[in-house]
Amino acid sequence: MKQVLSKQESHNLAMNIAGEELQKEGYEFLAINSDLKKNPQFVALKNKETFFIIVRPVYSAEETTIYHSVHTVPIIEHAKKHKAKVFYTGVWLGHGEDINQPIINGEAYSFVYNGLTKVK
């Protein structure tokens, strides 16, 4: 029986994709948090600057760069204490044959990663 990825599995896949892309861009990871309910997912360094990076699996192109949340205030305050910048990346996930369909365990998948968006 075909099984769609769970929310946690989708989140982990988005984190793996974002992590690989961020490494290619020169980010070094200080901490990684894969818990869906905690932010940030990555604490990273690049050019001697600290970054808090929120990662979310998303299901449309618009969501890859637009972060909607009432929970940004605590992370922004926490980042200020650590002189860190806060960024968001949404990784659009979908089935390998049609990105608008859900990913099925064991089948090919596709994704769109558009980089980081500053959280204000």
Higher pLDDT, 38 or 42: 42
Q: What is the pLDDT of residue 102?
A: 94
pLDDT at 1 over 90: no
pLDDT at 118 over 80: yes
Name the burial class of residue 53, with classes exposed (0-12), middle (13-18) and buried (19+) by CB atoms within 10 angstroms of its CB. buried
Q: Which two tokens stand for residue 16?
A: 């793996």
Distance CA 49, CA 108 (A): 36
**Average pLDDT for 61-80:** 84
pLDDT at 87 over 60: yes
Domains of the chain: 7-118 (3.40.1350.10)
Residue 71, classed as helix, strand or coil, is coil
pLDDT at 71 over 80: no
* Residues 6 or more apart whose Cβ sits within 8 Å of residue 111: 13, 14, 17, 91, 92, 93, 94, 99
pLDDT at 51 over 70: yes
Distance CA 59, CA 66 (A): 12
pTM for this structure? Answer: 0.92
Phi, psi (rounded to 5 degrees) for 26: 95, 10
